[in-house]
Chain A
Amino acid sequence: MTTLDTRPIHDEVPGNYLTFRRGILSWIFTLDHKRIGVMYLVAVLVSFFVGGVMALLVRTKLLFPGEVEWMTFDQYNKAFTLHGAIMVFLVIIPSIPAALGNFVLPIMLGAKDVAFPRLNLFSFYLWIMGAICAVYSLIAGGFDTGWTFYTPYSSQFSTGGTIPVLVGVFILGFSSIFTGVNFVVTIHKLRPPGMTWFRMPLFLWALYATALIQILATPVLGITVALLVVERAFNIGIFDPVMGGDPVLFQHFFWFYSHPAVYIMILPGMGIISEIIAVHSHRHIFGFRFIAFSSIAIAIFSFLVWGHHMFTSGQSPLMNVLFSAITFSVAIPSAVKVFNWLATLYKGSISLNTAMWYGLSFIFLFTIGGLTGIPLAVLSTDIHLHDTYFVVAHFHYVMMGSALIAMIGGLHHWWPKMTGRMFNETWGKIGCALVFVGFNMTFFTQFMLGSQGMPRRYYMYKPEFQIYHHISTGGSYIMGLGFVITAIYLLHSLFAGRKAPANPWGGASLEWQCTSPPPHDNFSVTPRVGDCYDFSAVSWDEKQQGYVVDVEAHVAAAQSGKGH
């Protein structure tokens, strides 16, 4: 094992992970999971901004039902394709696992780092390379196939930037796979004494289930884009009818990954919500084992339902019925979680911090998103709703209203831990409110648009839809304002925020037992494991202006079985 610095790492060093070694090289070659998490976070948030600008371009065009001079049909196609591809591959899939997860997982687990720190850094650089390929593809002519790359358009026609972006997606897939490998091994092998599976926080269960999906599904995406590149370059004839191929086969291969992928997006978010709800209502999570097992169940079921994206594509009636039936069952584990969170809130001592606002928003928005999946799962209604704005609204409710909201909530929840600063709560709530109101304005109207028949990915539309588009676009600007405000006060807190105590919210899991920010190797003594949702030993300390955990009492309570 080689390191840049020859000092033994486990000697006591002053300061924290941010001050441990200085200089840009110490960040570029870092093996510290916390620094890698921070780098991912910056990268993901920058990509989110770019993808968001694309979305605003699309929404602005949609203020006008007809053609406009400042955006052609092709440019519109490229804008929504870019929005989708950036958001799916560069933002949502890596965001919680790679950005927040990398930072929090080892500390929450009680380990010094992930199992393979060099692989972790390599994952980050793979992300960077994938992003570079995506940027290059813009220069090479852009791509306008939609983020789903359906054949035969993507194999026969489309533009010069298609192959580079497919190569980028392939590389990003490996970034995701290696993160998954790292997390699985870390959770299996690096747990400290006393941290059994059922003492592990639910965020880690969620990350584990996500890692399972990343490992099993992402290679199929790799092969699919590789086959598409070969098909496009050499016209081999497996997906393209011109050479006797089958375009529905492409869709089978694509969705075999992409459906589990949406669970890669949502599962970690659900894990965060479990943490936020429990900590900010100072109440033991209700139904720990149910929530834990439901994460694993969701991971497994997600592989059985991919055909529900293909009901109108030419898939056989037999498979349509089969996939529709199994899709209904996928809703069950998710519903189990929602009911458990509600039960946790009930009679809790709720602190309405910004993180909790995001947590409550999640529950509301996820319920709508999940319920609107049902009309899409039912074959007869899906015939009408497929490829309309109804689908767009549904997936934005679950991907953005749920996964992204959870990510931002988690960012606020762990911001003091990561940066050592407290942000301004008032502005936090203003930002959350703007995002919530803007989001609903943008996407609720799209349910109405879709059920009245407005197709998705269309540049022009009938004039009677215009009022809905106006409301939707207005909402998107409000939402954008909310995100900008969030960015401003968070950045401001880095310079002028109050110094954060180790435990600002009163959590009982291990990450709250080290300083904010954490020291370089996380713990100077081996952490002692109690019940991470037992808040009985957590009390407010006036001097620190934060909570403290009485570790002896906490561990004793767990061992005596008190507080289940």
Chain B
Amino acid sequence: MRDNRIQNILRVNLSTGKTRLESIPEAWTAKYLGCRGIHSRLLFNEVPPGADPFGPDNVLYIGTGPLEGTPIGMGRLSVACKSPRGTVAEGSCGGFFGPELRRAGIDYLAIQGKADRPVYLWIHDQKSEIRDARHLWGRKINETDALLREELSDPDVQFRYIGPAGENLVHSSPIFGNRDNSGGRAGCGAVMGSKRLKAIAVRGSGGIRVADYEGFLKAYQHFRQRVGVGTSRDVWTPIWGAYGAPVIVRVFNDQGGIMTRNAQEMRWDEEKCNRISAEPYLEKYVTRAKACFCCPLPACKKQHEIRSGPFQGFRGGNLWAAIPSVFGPLLDNDDLELILVMAGMCNQFGLDVFHVAYTLAWAMECFEKGILTRADTDGLELRFGCPDKEGVLDLIRKIAMREGFGDLLARGCNEAAKMIGRGSEKFALVIKGQELEAIAQRNSYMVALGVAVSEVGPDHTRWYPPHPGHPGLLKNEDLSRLGVQLDLSKAAQGRNPEEKGKVLRWFTISRAIVESLPSCVFLVRDTLGFDLHPWHELFQTATGIRLDYSEFIRAGERVMNLDRAFLVREGFRRTDDQPPYRMATEDVPYFGFPKLDKPLFDRMLDDYYQANGWSLKTSIPRRHKLEELGLTDVVQDLEKRGMEVEP
């Protein structure tokens, strides 16, 4: 029986083949909560600066937290390590692995070393075994899932695995599970591949006991009410829980929010947007709903099938919001079926869709400008609009397999641009060496700031509120009562640099808290983005730990600071928290939104660092802030390494 206050970590050394089960200090649960929070602490403690990301000293953490296994955990799992670029690489994914791991009596896996041949890890309750995976190496995601399922026969065993892209150390590969779920796009899959770990399988037979079942039940029902599932005014369920976020391609187009042709423009043809939106997707291709563990939404995930035409017979799943945008307008492609197949290829080969989409877009712009020719692209006519569909699909395969032109693109467009030169660096849309996601920056300064400062490379999931709610719902006084000091009207003005640093700080902290419970951020709607009391009560009743609300919030701030400390220890500074070249130097055509020039950006960075208590010069957290958070050991560590920690 699991006691939710004490968290267990299974340490696996793939070099020696030894495993060891330990407990995490009990005090950590109140200080860092769990899941992502504990991973931030472990990463800082255990992966020294300068460690080779693909070497044995990099540790891959896969874990969940005290609320997982209860209905509020929603299957969330965090994967974390040092990324191939040196940044923090932390991501979360859903599915069913997390609850099963907890039921096996384990909260975290810490995998270090490197196996001498491909292996997979089999965990059954608290017993673990390292098994030969040579028969799985090279297999695509669905094949791996099917083979493991056959081998282990129990239909309730859960898996996490990598595809050929992770095995081939393709720079930004995530870890996959439950077929189409993925997490850790900053390169956790590549790190897993570098350890020759193909998969992890887990089966647990235990149960999860919460400390106060009646209290938890009440808190859970209150939570459902706040989220608004199943009420008579529930307009939200079909919007987000069924049609889903892909419909935003129609919303953002009028706001200068659609990156078109590698963000050379920010507006696409409206008819094309309609053609790739959630409405035709749901009507023509969706076959059934799928969900993560205990999700209250009907169909956040869906399975789809193409029943006619050139891609007849193709099946796949999980079309997230950004995918139509990055395989659609970014490449000037309005064929929704091609989008589904491209996303499917990425899922099958274990590739990150953003890496593939932005690198293809970069290559297309280079091709159209004559910087790349057919001699470079293995003869492929690589233009916007994807005239050679089969060629583009084969190129995706080649990226995963590092074949021919695919090998250049497998490095990501930042490295590829450095190798090609000839001015192509100007159109690599990257921050800290990692490709962007799909949210526009020059029309929303909070986004511009948020992607630039994020410690994993551009990652909107670490702060972007998916459902901010109607402006009429909250007033400044309401926020003040919650302990959040923000001027909402200024914060909501997209191109007003004021207040952005402060609002980003708040969202980063509150998101860190939700991801450290864990629970799913997609359920953070309206006032739940500012009022974390429902989460607080769920945490207390589940763990039995009484924590002041302010201490609960402080845990999120601790996690944020640990991530920043890891990043600066690897040598990143303020100069790395910058927008991509295109956004910093070009105004937006048609809308006229100005570029994110230095004075504007500096002002927002200053505000953000100031609000956080970080050095304006370097972005290193200052002593007074670290001491306030009880992170004196971090001060000592940074100073020991000769870094300047301002008072």
The reply to whether chain A is a binding partner of chain B is: no
B residues neighboring A (CB under 8 Å) = none
